[in-house]
Amino acid sequence: MPGLFTIAKKELLDIVTEKKFLLIFATLLIVVLVSTFQGAQNFMEMSSSSSAYTTLEFSTSGNNSEPQIKTLSIGSTNLYWALYSMVKNISTVGGLLAIAISFDAINKERLSGSLKTLLSYPVYRDSVLGGKYLGGFAAITIVTLTTFMAGIGVFVGVTGTPLTFDNTARLLIFLGMSVVYLALFLGIGLLLSIVLPEPSTSLLAAIIIWLASTQLIPNLGWAIASIVYPFSFTTSGNIGKFGPSSAHELLRKVITGISPSASFEQTVSGILSTSKMEFSGYTHVNVPISLGQALMTCLPNLIYLVALLVVVFAACYVTFTRQEIR
């Protein structure tokens, strides 16, 4: 495609020299470094105390008897708990950065009149779109790599956790997923800049989508699931359980799964969960989760994110190539 790399190179240079980019990038870097440092310290504390828990299951032997603790599943000292804040910050601040890069990629040029000049050159519109996206993608990759390296550096430095083959593979998949996730927000910003004529409108629309993805849909999922399936004490045979039912969890996951941010966090939490600690009766059991198992668990979310990225880019392509430039 003639002109693709020329446009991408210019786009990348424009992005990395813009003040808004540098400001959000610096914020993301600082927030990730601080939160990863805290996460690493918590990780070390948890390694020694193992105090967190998520689900309490217990059994009853009769109608009037006291319930007996049967099983307690606890959040173990795995990579996810240590890097939870880093994942959360990439999900929120990273998404915002991706939007900030692309929300005015096309409509700014259309308003200034430079798009007409650009498209009068012997370049396909695919090249313009691809170049803009590629430039933004390169910027996003630089951001993700830098943030990731810095965050992992702090984590390893503080905890002394060895980077085994398994850990490294999980971290690399986390890195790849972060790039895919941010590329999706980049695409959403680009699509809005094609569809909406004013940069201020596309920025507003992009922020609304970002808020819906990071806050509204996850909260809504929790609220709807809690209304439809409230927390309750349930028994199955002689096993009793207090907390969200499996139907509640399923409904919550289905609703929150619509949100790219929640889907990204669910995927990464699955990948980074190296083990799950359980105990039967009163004995702790550390159950390792292999990389293969982790990948299988988060495969639907992974496919959803990639599919969403493809759909958004296809929408950009169809809209832009058919648009009249006046």
Partner 1 sequence: MYRRMMAMSTIIDVRNLTKRYGDLVAVDHVSYEIHEGEIFGLLGPNGSGKTTTILMLVGLINPTEGTAVISGYDVIKQPLEARSSVGLLPENAGYYDNLTARQNLSYYADLARVSRVLARKSIDELLDLVGLSDWKNTKVQAFSRGMRQRLGIAQSLIRDPEILILDEPTQGIDPEGTRDIRELVKELSKERGKTVVLTTHLLHEVDKLCDRVAIMKQGKLIALDTIPNLTNQIKAEEGADFEEVFLRFQGVM
**Which residues of this chain interact with partner 1, rule CB under 8 A?**
2-3, 6-7, 10, 14, 17, 109, 111-114, 116-124, 324-326
128 versus 225: smaller Cβ distance to partner 1: 128
Task: Record the tokens describing residue 69, joined without a space.
Answer: 């603790």
From 202, 204, 185, select the one nearest 193 (Cα to Cα).
Answer: 202
Smallest gap from Cβ 13 to partner 1, in A, equals 9
13 versus 296: smaller Cβ distance to partner 1: 13
Smallest gap from Cβ 1 to partner 1, in A, equals 11
Smallest gap from Cβ 138 to partner 1, in A, equals 17
14 versus 57: smaller Cβ distance to partner 1: 14
Residue 248: is it exposed, middle or buried by C-beta count within 10 angstroms (0-12/13-18/19+)? buried
Smallest gap from Cβ 103 to partner 1, in A, equals 18
Residues of 22-52 as b/e, b for ≥16 C-beta within 10 angstroms? eebbeebbebbbebbbebbebbbebeeeeee
Task: Record the tokens describing residue 293, joined without a space.
Answer: 């198992």
63 versus 120: smaller Cβ distance to partner 1: 120
Residues near 226 by beta carbon (within 8 Å), at least 6 away in sequence = 244, 248
Smallest gap from Cβ 107 to partner 1, in A, equals 12
118 versus 289: smaller Cβ distance to partner 1: 118
Q: How many helices (H) and strands (E) does the chain have?
A: 13, 6
Question: Can you tell me the distance from the alpha carbon of 243 to that of 54, in angstroms, rounded to the nearest whole number?
Answer: 10
